[in-house]
Amino acid sequence: MYGVATFYHFFTLKPQGDHNCIVCMGTACYVKRAAEIVAALQKEFGVAPGETTTDGRLSVATARCLGSCGLAPVLVLDGMVLPRNTGNHAGTNPRTFGVG
């Protein structure tokens, strides 16, 4: 059981936050500067990929490709795709996450 739970990228043994944000770091998103989204999330919320904010409101993760490369860079917030995001747009606005 432990092997299965730790093999798949989207399974986790850590408690998750109220909101879940996944930033695609696949090739199409990476070349469209997805790393800037991750940096903006770290700056705004103080949380790195694989972590949850100390108040338990937001968990951040990265993925290799979410299958929406034409919309790159892609951010998924609570299961909703937020296409063509950058670190300066809605994807990293605290109100988008219901935080702050």
The residues of the shown chain that bind ligand FES, judged by CB under 6 A, are: 24, 26-29, 65-69, 72, 74
Q: Which is nearer to ligand FES, 20 or 53 (CB)?
A: 20
In the complex, the smallest distance separating the C-beta of residue 84 from ligand FES, rounded to whole angstroms, is: 11
In the complex, the smallest distance separating the C-beta of residue 13 from ligand FES, rounded to whole angstroms, is: 26
In the complex, the smallest distance separating the C-beta of residue 81 from ligand FES, rounded to whole angstroms, is: 9
SS (H, E, C) 27-87: HHHHHCCHHHHHHHHHHHHCCCCCEECCCCCEEEEEECCCCCHHHCCCEEECCEEECCCCC
Element (H, E) at 2: helix 2-7
Q: Which is nearer to ligand FES, 17 or 26 (CB)?
A: 26
Residues in the chain: 100
